[in-house]
């Protein structure tokens, strides 16, 4: 079971990061501070449209799952929350944490506390 859920845009950023495609380094820096194992629906993007791709995709943080709604994905996670990079409208029925609102000074503070 995944620890948390990621919004579609953050899943895309993570996939791009993993495969050295163009990604937003600021978002990835913030995401990697909070990342826990997460699920990706097999039908998430064109990347997974090739049936052989999910079996070739190996990442210790990623759990490949069947198609489901964001709410179902969050409810199936351990922490019952979704990391997002922008507000979801209308307000979802689950807890979200917006990583875009984290200022660089807070990342340095978090980094100092962790290390």
Determine the Cα–Cα distance for residues 113 and 115; give it in Å rounded to an integer. 6
Structure-token pair, residue 19: 């495969």
Q: pLDDT, tens digit, for every residue of 7-19?
A: 989 989 998 898 8
Q: pLDDT, tens digit, for every residue of 23-60?
A: 998 888 888 877 788 888 877 766 656 655 555 567 77
| pTM value surpassing 0.75 | no
**For the chain, what percent of residues have pLDDT higher than 70?**
77
């Amino acid at each position: 079971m995944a620890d948390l859920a990621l919004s579609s845009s953050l899943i895309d950023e993570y996939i791009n990061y993993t495969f050295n495609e163009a990604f937003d380094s600021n978002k990835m820096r913030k995401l990697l501070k909070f990342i826990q194992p997460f699920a990706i629906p097999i039908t998430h993007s064109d990347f997974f449209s090739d049936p052989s791709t999910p079996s070739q995709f190996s990442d210790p943080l990623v759990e490949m799952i069947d198609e489901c709604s964001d709410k179902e994905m969050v409810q199936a996670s351990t922490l019952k929350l979704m990391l997002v990079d922008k507000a979801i409208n209308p307000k979802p029925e689950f807890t979200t944490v917006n990583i875009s609102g984290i200022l660089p000074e807070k990342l340095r503070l978090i980094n100092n506390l962790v290390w």
